[in-house]
Amino acid sequence: MRIETHLAQIGTKKEPKTGAINFPVYFATAYEHIGGVSTGFDYTRTANPTRQVLEQSIAALEEGDAGFACSSGMAAIQTVMGLFSQGDHLIVSLDLYGGTYRLFEQVLSRYGLTFSWVDLRDLSQVEQAIQPNTKAIFIETLTNPLIQVINLEEICQLAKRQQLLTIVDNTFMTPYLQQPIKWGADIVLHSATKYLGGHNDVLAGLIVSKGEELSERIGFLHNSIGATLAPLDAWLLMRGMKTLALRMNQHLANARELALFLNQHPLVEKVFYPSFDPEGRQILTKQARGFSGIFSFRLKDENLVRPFLEHLEVISFAESLGGVESLITHPATQTHADMPDELCQKIGICGRLVRISVGIEHIEDLQQDIAQALKKADQIIRRSGLS
């Protein structure tokens, strides 16, 4: 089956008793041992029928061996981090989700884990960062918020040679566009709150693992830590995922148009979109099916940022991504506010950077909205003598 078919058919033909096309929501937390024998379901934290359909679906979509649904993307990351012990070291994408940075540096560092923040586009930097106690490489690609492309095959090969696990946060791409396990990754993570859910209405995280032993260890952690996804949320997520292919196609087409539009706009200094970065473009063309629906751009003048965000009429100034509605985020004060200024500067996250998650609205409405908001912002700063 092609991935579009897989997606549309999530949860079908799984309920022979009634033939329900959508798998039902099992709210029961406890399951009777009929005749003294377990049905395979005992207690909902360990296994829930609705959640299990979702877990099997994401495992198939990512071409892994097991799937685990968690109460949020952060819960999924925390569960996977349970694989590591005091004294272990990880190599991590320098440019990545601010919440992951916060979990690693402000929480897990207290448990004796250490992290090296490395530009994973440069293999020699990765090699140099490897220590005797290094256990894994944690990759986000596309990176957040600078939309850099990391070569999955190269990093996975290096990790295998050094016997390190490769963990990929695939939130920005989804299995529709990129399947990291195919390139050698051991674990794929998702904030399913974003594209997989797709409607800005369910918080969820997913883990997919490759290999029997690793899957067993993560299964143990999933049940032991207990940050599992509620049955109704699992059902909502599956409903969202059924239309992933359709939505992604529209996100991609709109993002491309908008990136081209902003790239020639006089108030925009630089657009961070893979198509404008020859090396990133080449890697993505090989390892993925498209360029995602999210990109960032830097305005010429920091004073433009506030009035620009305030005058948007269609697009919302809000902190998230991947839903059908277009959202604009200001990384320096929102998603990456907990990253130290020094690190932000090193990476290139400045006050003039804005990130847009392009929705599935009509492209002309999005383009007009951005054009009018930029025009008003320009007038305002000219009038106030700020520019």
Site residues (vs ligand PLP, CB under 6 A)? 72-74, 97, 99-100, 140, 144, 169, 171, 191, 193-194, 203, 205
Q: Is 88 a catalytic residue?
A: no
CA 342 from centroid of its chain's CA atoms: 24
Q: Rounded to the nearest whole angstrom, what is the least distance from the CB of residue 96 to ligand PLP in the complex?
A: 7
Closest to ligand PLP by CB, 77 vs 380, is 77
Query: Is 45 assigned a catalytic role?
Result: yes
Least distance (Å) from ligand PLP to the CB of residue 122? 21
374, 304 in Cβ contact below 8 A? Answer: yes
Question: What kind and span of H or E run contains 167?
Answer: strand 165-169
- Please, what is the minimum distance in Å from the beta carbon of residue 205 to ligand PLP? 5
Query: Which of 72/148 has CB closer to ligand PLP?
Result: 72
Residue nearest to ligand PLP (CB): 73
| CB of residue 191 to ligand PLP, shortest distance in Å | 3
**Least distance from C-beta 272 to ligand PLP, angstroms?**
15
What is the nearest approach in angstroms of ligand PLP to the Cβ of residue 69? Answer: 12
Contact 252, 244 (CB under 8 A): no
Reduced to 3 states, what is the DSSP secondary structure of residue 99?
A: helix
Residue 91: strand, helix, or coil: strand
- The DSSP annotation for 245-305 comes to HHHHHHHHHHHHHHHHHHHT-TTEEEEE-GGGSHHHHHHHHHH-SS--SEEEEEES-GGGH
Whole-angstrom Cα distance, residue 255 to residue 72?
26
- When the beta carbons of 223 and 320 are compared against ligand PLP, the nearer one is 320
Of 67 and 307, which has the nearer Cβ to ligand PLP? 67
- Residue 273 bears catalytic tag: no
| Run of H or E residues at 191 | strand 187-191
What burial letters (b/e) apply to 238-248, b meaning 16+ CB within 10 Å? bebbbebbebb
Query: Least CB distance from residue 74 to ligand PLP, whole Å?
Result: 4
User: Given CA atoms 174, 180, 181, 186 in this order, what sign does their dihedral have?
Assistant: negative
Residue 72 or 151: the one with the smaller Cβ distance to ligand PLP is 72
Catalytic residue among 26, 51, 95, 169: 169
What distance in Å separates the CA atoms of residue 192 and residue 387, rounded to the nearest whole number? 41
**Residue 169 falls in the annotated catalytic set:** yes
Is the CB of 121 or the CB of 378 nearer to ligand PLP?
A: 121
Q: 303 or 316, CB closer to ligand PLP?
A: 316
Task: Decide: helix, strand or coil at residue 154.
Answer: helix
Q: Give the tokens for residue 280.
A: 């990133």
Euclidean distance between CA atoms 154 and 29, whole angstroms: 44
By CB neighbour count within 10 A (0-12 exposed, 13-18 middle, 19+ buried), where does 328 fall? buried
Catalytically active residues, by annotation: 45, 97, 169, 194
